[in-house]
Amino acid sequence: MNNSDNVITPDENGRFGDFGGRYVAETLMPPILALEAAYSDAKTDPNFLSELDSFFNHYVGRPSPLYYAERLTEFTNGAKIYFKRDELNHTGAHKINNCMGQILLAKRMGKTRIIAETGAGQHGVATATVAARFGLKCIVYMGATDIVRQKPNVFRMRLLGAEVRSVKSGTATLKDAMNEALRDWVTNVDDTFYCIGTVAGPHPYPAMVRDFQSIIGREAKKQILEREGRLPDALIACIGGGSNAMGLFHEFINDDSVRLIGVEAAGRGVESGLHAASLTGGSPGVLHGNRTYLLQNEDGQITDAHSISAGLDYPGIGPEHAYLHDIGRAEYLSATDDEALHWFQECARLEGILPALEPSHAIPRTVEIAKEIGKDGIVIMNMCGRGDKDVFTIADALGEHISEGTEG
């Protein structure tokens, strides 16, 4: 998977410029160093790579289509809009690409217990799925607030044999689930593999998760060259921690003509203070093992993120994004809850696709960029997850009352 000529890899300390690193308790340094060694060995082992490819093809359902969103393009009256349809993967999001890689690695390392944190539940479901496939014990930490707003995914994880542990501390969302997963790992270092769901955490996670997700961009590049005979003008993806965006961007990092655009969750508006836009409204700090942009107060305490999308509701961002932001290689915009809700409905109406709330944030900016680039242009947006899990949240936000199934 390392056959691209991308130059951006972290240095030996896991740094992307000033960002990244390994800010963890001493108890976690030995397992992190062991993981780094195991990954470094696996990623050049043809057997590991071909096993991963085989699971991508036959279990995940890759390659995912690159779909020309014709009616959205007509509606926009600008550049051609393509969707990279990672929402069609097994389990309904891009998250499984990473879980497939990490759990194959866990198996290779002889680990028997998988732990994960989850926000929207997509990473939890993907982890539970792959853990079930390999007969591994799986525990998923999820904020109590998120458990309420993502009930279908909670049940799905339980059906897959995972134990979902409710995290009530702090704000009871994704960041607290990550704290709790780190506490579990510190306590069970010997048999446990921590499957982090995004391009954050201590080195080697940001680079490793990116590498496993980079299948998205490799496929997209091949597909767009076949379809259009040229590279796109822009790539657009939503960003919480930023794994679907890094997965799409990575293969194109050295293609200077391709604009890379990340869309953060602006919640009720960045100026309202109720948002999850770490790059747009945050500053550099240290959390969950890496130095990156964070939402924090004047005393360095982490402040609450807000987003209608549980998957973007995180006060940090992957360190490689922080770096791409600071060197100006990627642009970072934002979209509010209301914009996401509006474009969720437009996408359903125009394309017959219910996007997850996370990529719904990317659609308004995609439309704007497509207009800006104009008719001869080509843009690709990562449709990184499907919206079935969000129908209750969306019904709530639209003032509709729908049954939650079991009660009837």
Partner 1 sequence: MTTRINETFKNLKQTDSTAFVAYIMGGDPDRVVSQKMLNALPDNGVDIIELGMPFTDPAADGPIIEEAGLRSLKAGTKLSTIFEMASEFRKINTTTPIIIMGYCNPVHHMGYDLFSKKAKASGIDGAIIVDLPPEEDSELREAFNLNDLALIRLATPNTDKNRLPRVVSGTKGFVYYVSMTGITGASSDNLNSVPEQVHKIKQASKLPVVVGFGIKTPDDAHKISNDADGVVVGSAIVKELNEKGVEAALGLVKALAKAVHK
Residues within the interface to partner 1 (CB under 8 A): 13, 21-27, 29-31, 169-170, 175-176, 178-179, 182-183, 186-189, 283, 285-289, 291, 294, 296, 299-302
Q: What DSSP character marks residue 60?
A: I
How many other CB atoms are there within 10 angstroms of residue 168's CB atom? Answer: 11
- Pairing verdict, β 137-143 and 163-167: parallel
Closer of 187 and 406 to partner 1 (Cβ):
187
Q: How far is the CB of 140 from partner 1 (least distance, A)?
A: 17
Closer of 8 and 186 to partner 1 (Cβ):
186
Query: CB-based contacts of 57: which residues, under 8 Å, 6+ apart?
Result: none
Backbone angles phi, psi at 329, to 5 degrees: -75, -35
**Residue 402 DSSP SS3:** coil
Closer of 38 and 178 to partner 1 (Cβ):
178
Closer of 53 and 304 to partner 1 (Cβ):
304
Q: How far is the CB of 188 from partner 1 (least distance, A)?
A: 8
Q: How far is the CB of 360 from partner 1 (least distance, A)?
A: 28
C-alpha angle 402-403-408 in degrees, rounded to nearest 5 = 155
Q: How far is the CB of 317 from partner 1 (least distance, A)?
A: 15
Q: How far is the CB of 201 from partner 1 (least distance, A)?
A: 11
Closer of 31 and 232 to partner 1 (Cβ):
31
Dist CA 118 CA 147 (whole Å): 10
Query: CB-based contacts of 115: which residues, under 8 Å, 6+ apart?
Result: 138, 139, 140, 141, 181, 184, 185, 188, 192, 193, 194, 195
* Exposure letters 122-142 (e unless 16+ CB within 10 A, then b): bbbbbbbbbbeeeebebbbbb
CB of 220 within 8 A of CB of 378? no
Q: How far is the CB of 189 from partner 1 (least distance, A)?
A: 5
Closer of 291 and 321 to partner 1 (Cβ):
291
Q: How far is the CB of 193 from partner 1 (least distance, A)?
A: 15
Dist CA 101 CA 243 (whole Å): 14
Q: Which residue has the tokens 């959205």?
A: 72
